[in-house]
Amino acid sequence: MNLPNLLSLLRIILTPLFIIFLFSDDKLLALIIFAVAAITDAYDGHLARKYNQITSQGKFLDPLADKILVLSAFFSFAFIGIIDFWMVGIITFRDMFITGLRWIISNKGFEFVTSKLSKYKTAFQLTIIILTLIFLTLESFNMESFIPTIDLIKQYKIIYMLTLFTAIFTAYTGIIYLYANRFVIKDFIRNN
């Protein structure tokens, strides 16, 4: 197993630790663990391309690790009550459907076109999660009197609205992804 794949595996291992600390009183540690896991997401693909270590195992493991980390965070936020489960449902459906479809089709020898929009989607999801974790960390330290922005975030439901936008953007990227790969999908259906 090469270093990029080990980083993807580390992201999977860090996810339960992140959830444990998120639901404990140590939100700061949850934030740190998530940030470390998010950094591994940036580096595994970069290292795989730079050192020509792209493997079929890595092509499967990297997006799987991303989905496990991101969806665990969004589900946790829904359980906490910051966002609604239907938002998480949209994000989950898009990510699992596209990942599953890409995996099935690529195993039959077809190549999907990956757009930069999908990479922006992942970056945006990670950013929203980190912002939410910062908010929860500050809130856990009762920083409202020192940082009045926390009250504004609560009053105007900023986290909720940003996650709503994330859900809509995620669905949109799924539609664009399917459209960009419509001929590959048609060829796959025709040949199977």
Mean pLDDT computed over 177-192: 88
Task: State the maximum Cα–Cα separation within the chain, in Å, rounded to a whole number.
Answer: 64
Among 71-85, 99-113, 160-174, the least confident range: 99-113
Domain annotation for the chain: domains and CATH numbers: 3-191 (1.20.120)
d(CA 11, CA 145): 35
pLDDT category of residue 3 using cuts at 50, 70 and 90: confident
Give kind and range of the element (H or E) at residue 1: none
Q: Which backbone phi and psi does 65 adopt, to 5 degrees?
A: -60, -40
Three-state DSSP state, 55: coil
* pLDDT recorded at residue 22: 97
- Please state, rounded to an integer, the average pLDDT across all residues of the chain: 89
Among 33-47, 72-86, 119-133, 168-182, the least confident range: 33-47
Residue 120 above 70 pLDDT? yes
Among 15-24, 27-36, 48-57, 130-139, the least confident range: 48-57
- Burial zone of 83 (CB within 10 Å; 0-12 exposed, 13-18 middle, 19+ buried): buried
pLDDT category of residue 31 using cuts at 50, 70 and 90: very high
Give the number of C-alpha atoms closer than 13 A to the C-alpha of residue 84, restricted to the C-beta side. 11
d(CA 98, CA 94): 6
Mean pLDDT computed over 19-40: 94
d(CA 134, CA 30): 10
- CA-to-CA separations, 81 to 25, 26, 43, 104, 160, in angstroms, rounded: 16, 18, 32, 35, 10
d(CA 127, CA 121): 10
Amino acid at 133: L
pLDDT category of residue 145 using cuts at 50, 70 and 90: low
Instruction: Give 33 or 146, the one with higher predicted confidence.
Output: 33
Instruction: Give 93 or 51, the one with higher predicted confidence.
Output: 93
* pLDDT recorded at residue 189: 87
Tally Cβ neighbours within 10 Å of residue 51. 11
Give the end-to-end CA distance of the chain in Å, rounded to a whole number. Answer: 32
* pLDDT recorded at residue 64: 87
